[in-house]
Amino acid sequence: MDISTRLQEERKRLGLTQEAVAAQLGATKRSVINWEGGAALPGAEVLARYAAAGADVLYILTGQRQGGASAPPPPRAVSEGDRILLDNFHAAPAQVQAGVKTALGAFAPGAGSARRGKQDKAA
């Protein structure tokens, strides 16, 4: 098995489309198609970004998984929508971030009973 085949295998293992990989790596879909088809190979910077997205770059390059067969799978890559949400959150002022955290905290498991407890104490 060659590098191009392992690139495609890693993309599929991560549950990503060629479009999603291209977006995460700052590349074009055509580049991903070329890499996976063996017409070209990604450079070191692209592979570093792919590793940050959860790909096992050691496996892509050598065919050997990081940490051997017993190593846990790398974290799943963040979707494009989630990445945009996180980028916007981090760009927001601290007060806005605090408000978002408070609002989302209301939806956390068990938050309803904790909120009711606070309301009961206040009454």
Four-point Cα dihedral 88, 89, 95, 99, nearest 10: 120
pLDDT digits (tens, 9 = 90+) for 14-31: 999 999 999 999 999 999
pLDDT digits (tens, 9 = 90+) for 88-122: 888 999 899 899 989 988 887 876 554 545 544 55
Contact between 97 and 89 under an 8 Å Cβ cutoff? The reply is: yes
Of the CA atoms within 13 Å of residue 73, those in its CB half-sphere come to 7
How much is the pLDDT for 121? 52
In the chain, domain spans: 3-62, 92-122
The CATH code of domain 3-62 reads 1.10.260.40
Overall pTM > 0.85: no
Length of the chain: 123
How much is the pLDDT for 75? 62
How much is the pLDDT for 82? 85
Distance (Å, rounded) from C-alpha 96 to C-alpha 100?
6
| Residue pointed to by tokens 């879909």 | 29
